[in-house]
């Protein structure tokens, strides 16, 4: 099989392995390793990590195809969707698998472990969080945003669907999370989800901003302390 034919087939894989090459070419494992070496030396394929390669330089496609399933989320997704003016060079990927970060070209691909792997869609071989889940992911893992102001940019700029975000919150069933999301949607977007949930007032007050423990105001409805 010619090199051009092999590369044309590999172009269908955002990320491929040695086994993929064996399946495409019918070559032995040893000869497939030799082929990988030659293609890398000619800069026809790129090394991602041990056993994983690509023919493309699209970080978004690569990052969400290293582990399946996974999706772009957190601060990088806010940047990808245009909700922040900050340039974010760390690509945050939500996945159920614990995995060390990968350096690829000028990016760091950081894998964030989550139990709640839903609320995302596919767009041109890229798996990306939807806006409703992006806010939830942000409040569950605020440190992935660097500061609370970046989370507020999601609140102010994202496109929310009341029914969908309520359904997501009911799946997760975290009262503190529900109260934070509900307070922010009501304060900044005039979206009221309070009546969709029970027992929201049967617990202690919580601080909205996990980066800053001081507060000036109290919201009795949501039992939230905020600045």
Residues 45-80: tens digit of each pLDDT = 999 999 999 999 999 999 999 999 999 999 999 999
Cβ–Cβ < 8 Å for 202, 223: no
Q: Angle CA(120)–CA(135)–CA(69) in degrees, nearest 5?
A: 25
Q: Where are the domains of the chain?
A: 3-54, 59-226
Q: Of 222, 202, 205, which Cα lies nearest the Cα of 213?
A: 205
Percent of the chain at pLDDT exceeding 70:
100
Name the 3-class secondary structure at 185: helix
What is the 8-class DSSP label of residue 95?
E
- List the CATH code of the domain at 3-54: 1.10.10.10
Question: What does the alpha-carbon distance between residue 55 and residue 47 come to, in Å, rounded to a whole number?
Answer: 9
Helices 175-189 and 131-140 cross at an angle (nearest 10°) of: 120
30: pLDDT strictly greater than 90: yes
Residue 126 backbone phi and psi in degrees, to 5 = -110, 130
Residues 143-176: tens digit of each pLDDT = 999 999 999 999 999 999 999 999 999 999 999 9
Question: What does the alpha-carbon distance between residue 222 and residue 185 come to, in Å, rounded to a whole number?
Answer: 11
pLDDT band (50, 70, 90) for residue 214: confident
């Amino acid at each position: 099989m010619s090199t051009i034919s092999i590369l044309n087939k590999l172009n269908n894989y955002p990320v491929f392995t040695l086994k993929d090459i064996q399946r495409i070419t019918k070559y032995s494992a040893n000869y497939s390793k030799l082929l990988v070496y030659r293609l890398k030396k000619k800069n026809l394929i790129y090394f991602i990590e041990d056993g994983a390669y690509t023919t493309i330089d699209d970080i978004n496609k690569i990052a969400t195809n290293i582990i399946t399933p996974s999706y772009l989320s957190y601060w990088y997704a806010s940047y990808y969707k245009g909700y922040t003016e900050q340039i974010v060079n760390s690509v945050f990927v939500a996945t159920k698998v614990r995995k060390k970060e990968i350096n690829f070209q000028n990016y760091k691909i950081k894998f964030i472990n989550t139990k709640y792997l839903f609320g995302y869609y596919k767009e041109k071989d890229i798996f990306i969080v939807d806006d409703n889940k992006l806010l939830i992911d942000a409040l569950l893992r605020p440190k992935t945003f660097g500061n609370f102001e970046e989370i507020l940019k999601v609140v102010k700029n994202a496109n929310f669907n009341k029914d969908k975000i309520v359904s997501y919150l009911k799946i997760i069933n975290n009262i503190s999370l529900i109260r934070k999301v509900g307070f922010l949607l009501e304060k900044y977007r005039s979206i009221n989800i309070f009546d969709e949930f029970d027992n929201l007032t049967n617990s202690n007050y919580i601080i909205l901003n996990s980066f800053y423990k001081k507060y000036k105001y109290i919201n009795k409805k949501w039992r939230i302390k905020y600045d």
